[in-house]
């Protein structure tokens, strides 16, 4: 589904990704762990299409298509979803109106008529219950005044609404208490099927008890330096990153 080959990217003069390769197939869950500032969010942003970066080498294929040639909104309509590490507050736009615009944009892209009001409301209701988000949040401005946990649940709600092929979760678990973490993880598990894939960025092994990854990648200094199964995450948590540094010899 997703194939990243030898990706190099910089922002300004600063090189952040330094030859990153990754392959994700449908039906898989991949976890990415790594120290702060290593480029995890950068990778997520580049897949989603944020314009601040310059790709100096490498390529990204999504279902065989050159992803880097598509605009961010086209990527989203094709089925790429990013749950933001820091979801943006947008005063004055309700989540309902926002989601209606997003759902209809995707439908239009796939040659469908706009969703009928009743169907839309039913969909909203179903998906918000998945992440235990109160109805009142949907009529409020996007993320405005939401707690950290509410913002993250809103991300998963949006993901459920848009039913992406590839979902990237950028530290969706950071700052969540255990109840919220379970809610988010349950939501993801319900959406998971053999046609979609998840890329889960996290610092904490605890999330991976709930969302069980097929692969765990360790990212360091703009590259994936080690890949293993879920036991790698446990090892990381026990031993810290110094162990990796030694192993890769820096």
Partner 1 sequence: MSFTDNIDVAFETIDKDNLSVVRESALTSFKALGLPSARHEEWKYTHIKTKLPETLRLAASFELQVASKLKYFNSIKGTKLVFINGDFSAESSVILAQSGLTVGSLKENSNLYPEQFEKYFNKATDISKENFAALNTAFVRDGAFIYVKKNTIVEAPVFVFHIYDNASADVFTQSRNLIIAEENSDITIVEDFQNSTGEKFYNHVSEVYVGRNAEVNYSLLQLHNPNTTSVNYVEARLERDARYHITTVTLDGKLVRNNVNAYMDGENALATLNGLYIGKDANHIDNHILVDHRVPNCNSHQTYKGVLDDGATGVFNGKIFVQKDAQKTNAYQSSKAVLLSDEASMNSKPQLEIYADDVKCSHGAAIGQVSKNELFYLLARGIDKDTARGILTYAFANEIIAAIKLPELKTYLDEKLKQRLNITI
- What is the contact mask toward partner 1 in residues 36 to 75, using x (rule: CB under 8 A)? ------------xxxx-------------------xxx--
In whole angstroms, what is the distance from residue 216 CA to residue 230 CA? 6
Q: Rounded to whole angstroms, how far apart are CA atoms 109 and 78? A: 8
205 is a site residue for ligand ATP (CB under 6 A): no
The SS3 call for residue 194 is: coil
Residue keyed to tokens 């090189």:
15
Q: Which of 4, 42, 199, 213 binds ligand ATP (CB under 6 A)?
A: 42
Tokens of 17: 């990704």
Position among 21, 23, 25, 52 found at the interface with ligand ATP (CB under 6 A): 52
User: How far is 70 from 60, CA to CA, in rounded Å?
Assistant: 11
Q: Is 48 in the site for ligand ATP (CB under 6 A)?
A: no
- Maximum Cα interatomic distance, the chain, rounded to a whole number of Å: 59
Across 188-218, b (16+ Cβ under 10 Å) vs e yields: beebbeeebbbbbbbbbbebbebbebebbbb
Please, what is the minimum distance in Å from the beta carbon of residue 183 to ligand ATP?
A: 22
Which pair of tokens denotes residue 67?
């992803």
Residue 97 within binding range of partner 1, rule CB under 8 A = yes
Contact range with partner 1 by CB under 8 A, out of 56-64, 89-97, 203-211, 240-248: 89-97
Q: Which residue number, 12 or 249, has a Cβ lying nearer to ligand ATP?
A: 12
Site residues (vs ligand ATP, CB under 6 A): 11-12, 14, 16, 34, 36-42, 52, 85
Site residues (vs partner 1, CB under 8 A): 48-51, 71-73, 76-77, 81-82, 84, 87-88, 90-93, 97-102, 105-106, 109, 141-142, 158, 162
């Amino acid at each position: 589904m997703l194939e990243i080959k030898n990706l190099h990217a910089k922002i300004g003069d600063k090189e952040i990704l330094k030859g990153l390769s990754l392959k994700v197939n449908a039906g898989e869950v991949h976890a990415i762990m790594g120290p702060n500032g290593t480029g995890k969010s950068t990778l997520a942003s580049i897949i989603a299409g944020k314009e601040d970066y310059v790709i100096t080498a490498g390529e990204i294929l999504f279902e065989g298509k050159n992803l880097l040639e598509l605009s961010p909104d086209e990527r989203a309509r094709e089925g790429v979803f990013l749950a933001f590490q820091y979801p943006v507050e947008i005063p004055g736009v309700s989540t309902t109106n926002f989601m209606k615009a997003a759902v209809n944009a995707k439908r239009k892209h796939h040659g469908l008529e706009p969703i009928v009001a009743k169907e839309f409301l039913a969909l909203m209701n179903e998906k918000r219950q998945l992440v235990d988000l109160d109805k009142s949040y949907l009529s409020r401005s996007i993320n405005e005044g939401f707690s950290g946990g509410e913002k993250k649940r809103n991300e998963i709600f949006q993901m459920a609404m848009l039913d992406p092929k590839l979902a990237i979760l950028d530290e969706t678990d950071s700052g969540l208490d255990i109840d919220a973490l379970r809610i988010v993880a349950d939501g993801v598990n319900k959406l998971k099927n053999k046609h979609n894939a998840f890329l889960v960025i996290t610092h904490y092994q605890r999330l991976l008890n709930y969302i069980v990854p097929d692969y765990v990648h360790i990212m360091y200094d703009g590259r994936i330096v080690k890949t293993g199964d879920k036991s790698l995450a446990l090892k990381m948590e026990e031993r810290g990153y110094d162990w990796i540094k030694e192993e890769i010899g820096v």
